[in-house]
Amino acid sequence: MRKREGERGRHRGTTIIMVRHQGKVAVAGDGQVSQGPAVVKHSARKIKRLYNDKIICGIAGATADALAILDRLEEELNQYSGNFTRAAVELTKKWRTDRGLRHLEAVLLAADKDISLMISGVGDILEPDDDVLATGSGGYYALAAARALLKHAPNLTAEEICRESMKIAAKICVYTNEEIYLESLDSTV
């Protein structure tokens, strides 16, 4: 069965959260990989560093598709000398127009020291209003938890907020586990 266009970008089987807070940007993801109702792996690393460790990406979607998009983002970063925004725009343009890329089902949350972006194959490059982004099956749960923690526990670090948000999402979403992987960068914001 083919997905309708409006259904693209709704990924089951992972949760990724990104928080920019107190001079850091942190990205966390769970380790669960599911096929249908079965868990086939508990410890997949869905958080990657790119371009000499200056960019952190969290990937959601079909594994091969997400890895292919990460490779393409790395190529764009190299082509544009690490200009993250330009690389994201060029990747998104190719993702929508290239025959081989346009059917890839994935969403990236990516950040450098200055900017956080959600990048998708439907042409979206979104910068958050409140320095928090999330995607995947448990993304809304993690997003709500992170926003609440930022409001009610502002002394927590970006890393702590990501971890706690992921733990909350894992308690609610059956496609998310508590095997959490996290990376962070110093931020200028």
Tokens of 114: 């200055």
Count other C-beta atoms under 10 Å from residue 6's C-beta.
8
Kindly tell me if the per-residue pLDDT of 8 is higher than 70.
no
What pLDDT score was predicted for residue 97? 86
Backbone phi, then psi, for 46, in 5-degree steps?
-110, 10
Q: Spot the catalytic one: 14, 15, 92, 176.
A: 14
Residue 188 annotated in active site = no
Strand ranges for 12-163 from DSSP E: 15-21, 24-30, 33-35, 38-41, 47-50, 55-61, 106-111, 116-120, 125-126, 132-136
**Residue ranges covered by each domain of the chain:** 11-183
Mean pLDDT of the chain: 90
- CATH topology assigned to domain 11-183: Glutamine Phosphoribosylpyrophosphate, subunit 1, domain 1 (3.60.20)
Tokens representing residue 121 in the block? 């194959």
Cross-sheet strand order for the sheet of 125-126: 47-50, 55-61, 106-111, 116-120, 125-126
d(CA 145, CA 151): 10
pLDDT for 2 equals 39
pLDDT tens, residue by residue, 15-67: 999 999 999 999 999 999 988 889 999 999 999 999 999 999 999 988 888 88
